[in-house]
Amino acid sequence: MTAPIVNRLQGDMPKIGIRPIIDGRRGGIRESLEEPTMNLAQACAEFLSANLRHSNGLPVECVIADTTIGGVAEAARTAEKFRKEGVGVTISVTPSWCYPLETIDTDPLTVKAIWGFNGTERPGAVYLASALAAHNQKGLPAFSIYGKDVQDIGDSSIPEDVQQKLLKFAKAGLAVATMRGKSYLSMGSVSMGIAGCIVDESFFQDYLGMRNEYVDMTEFIKRMERGIYDKEEYEKALAWTKENCKIGADVNPPELKRTPEQEEQAWETVVKMALIARDLMVGNPKLAEMGFAEEGMGHNAIAAGFQGQRAWTDHFPTGDFMEAILSSSFDWNGIREPFILATENDNLNAVTMLLGHLLTNSAQIFADVRTYWSPEAVKRVTGHELSGAAAGGVIHLINSGPAALDGTGEQTIDGNPAMKPFWDITEEEAQKCLDATLWCTAVDFFRGGGYSTDFTTRGGMPATMARINVVKGTGPVLQIAEGYTVELPQEVHDVLDQRSNPTWPTTWFVPNLTGEGAFKDVYSVMSNWGSNHCSVSYGHVGGDLITLASMLRIPVCMHNVADESILRPSAWTAFGVNEPIGADYRACAAFGPLYR
């Protein structure tokens, strides 16, 4: 069963505004261009609407200006219409020369692109170049979209290369607009001294346009003890959990094993925690009906984090069940959009997960970047010689059990392992993810008990590992590593897994190598990773992440994305076209955070 497709957050979903730009000279010039210009705008809108959906499954709406825009008065009228319609992303299209300063979008908060039609009759490329120069001079970065091949005027078809750029730009732009005004909910504080748990309000406000909300973990105790949760849903969720969550090994020594009564109580607690965390994030009208109007409102949180260790887990069951189930694309209510909930309140990893989710529409894997296993070390420990994609060694991605169950890889695309948008997931696939997961009693240092997920990600999935870090004096930076998941022989996996924790979920990851720098070899990727955590998205979406980062003015410090997959604002070339990484840093510093 797929849950109803709804917007569970406050505010309407952002729209894409299409701005048809025209040569405003009357007396035959403008008149001859009206139809082809509007046709181009209509084709652009139809293409985007047909190929994009918001992460919650709702369709993406495009708004076209009421008239073509030949001067400042029409530009102003269009800006007012877009403001009323909730447009957050604009694409200007034109097949001809027009007057740039009079027609460009000057709203500093909308993400902008210009599609300059590649034609010779009245070349849109001339307007494109001039308008981009105007944007750059005004400090309003815009993206350039220009097809490789010349088209005839009046041809409103969209070439393949233009389609790819339009989609890359629009997906990233919608992500920017979707985050604006939403909240990050910090449930607890800093876990075990991890710096990524420190909530930097200026980062969320200046770079993401988000606000920060905070609750103490005692809020969970209050709601459990006072019954501030939907009792009927709790009974449904507990029954579903007992039916679908398979019990795994208890590796604790005899003196630390828990009684059946303690285990039962732990299941009841972790299910309640999942309900409460969700209600804290997005609210629940049922609570208002029960007389808890304030609690029923929620915090409008598009992402959240739970501290857990150690203030909570030294006494109460671990939050892994809550984090894993909410981060997955399904639960007792059916198949639905994943929630973004980071373990240990690592808000920087939560933001990275959020970016990946908004770009792919699918669940994300939260993981420790735990170990680099060289071929030599694997052979020494197991006697096995790594081969194939794993021949150069593997990175062991593993955490205590908060990873989305989608990460099992039991969903498929064309018969291959995948992680899909929730609206494409079948009930059979959701069940396979559940069946491939064991729930193991938490190990000894989780003194309050609870359960950890145990699964191994299927090999062969294209995947992108990413992480935002904050560096004093520079601000946020993004790391990206595209690669593939791999599977090791079971006996090899078991030996390596035992050396870490056999009751936790494992993803064996191999990055695509370039032979130089941070991607010289697998070891170099591990050595250059800037934090203990990462987020893993399905697919090779590094190019999309780079586009999104440039919109937010977050430089990318390492990546292995091919040049042809990178789309940044045209101004970036002015900061050093032959030195793209340095140019990215300089451009982001010069323009500053989007909302500063």
Rounded Cα gap, residues 490 and 240, in angstroms: 30
Q: Quick check: 349 and 467 in contact, CB under 8 A? A: yes
Collapsed DSSP state (helix, strand, coil) of residue 200: coil
Verify whether residue 368 is a known catalytic residue: yes
| Residue 344 is labelled as binding a ligand | yes
Rounded Cα gap, residues 37 and 593, in angstroms: 34
Residue 337 is given by DSSP the state P
The strand pair at 246-247 and 556-558 is best described as unpaired
For residues 534-549, one letter each, b for 16 or more C-beta atoms within 10 angstroms of the residue's C-beta and e for the rest, the string is bbbbbbbbbbbbbbbb
Burial status of residue 392 (CB atoms within 10 A of its CB: 0-12, 13-18, 19 or more): middle
| Residue 533 is labelled as binding a ligand | yes
Q: Quick check: 307 and 368 in contact, CB under 8 A? A: no
Side chain identity at residue 83, one-letter code: R
Q: Quick check: 141 and 571 in contact, CB under 8 A? A: yes
Which position among 344, 406, 429, 454 bears the catalytic label? 344
Rounded Cα gap, residues 33 and 29, in angstroms: 7
Rounded Cα gap, residues 297 and 292, in angstroms: 9
Residue 311 is given by DSSP the state T
**481 contact partners, CB below 8 Å, separation of at least 6:** 464, 465, 466, 511, 512, 519, 525, 529, 542, 558, 559, 560
| Residue 384 is labelled as binding a ligand | no
Residue 55 is given by DSSP the state T
Verify whether residue 344 is a known catalytic residue: yes
* Torsion angle, alpha carbons of 554, 560, 564, 566, to 10: -10
Tell me how far the alpha carbon of residue 376 is from its chain's centroid: 35
Rounded Cα gap, residues 406 and 329, in angstroms: 7
Copy the structure tokens of residue 414: 């064309």
For residues 458-496, one letter each, b for 16 or more C-beta atoms within 10 angstroms of the residue's C-beta and e for the rest, the string is bbebbbbbbbbbbeeeebbbbbbbbbbbbbbeeebbebb
Collapsed DSSP state (helix, strand, coil) of residue 260: helix
Q: Which of 194, 537, 181 is nearest to 348 (CA)?
A: 194
Which position among 74, 368, 410, 544 bears the catalytic label? 368
264 phi and psi angles, rounded to 5 deg: -65, -45
Q: Quick check: 461 and 419 in contact, CB under 8 A? A: yes
**225 contact partners, CB below 8 Å, separation of at least 6:** none
CA distances for 298 relative to 151, 185, 220, 276, angstroms: 52, 10, 13, 10
The strand pair at 506-511 and 475-486 is best described as antiparallel
Tell me how far the alpha carbon of residue 408 is from its chain's centroid: 18
Copy the structure tokens of residue 538: 């399905």
Strand partners of residue 64: 18
Rounded Cα gap, residues 164 and 132, in angstroms: 20
Side chain identity at residue 338, one-letter code: P
Rounded Cα gap, residues 77 and 82, in angstroms: 9
Binding residues: 344, 368, 533
Which residues are catalytically annotated?
A: 344, 368
Binding residues for Mn(2+): 344, 368, 533
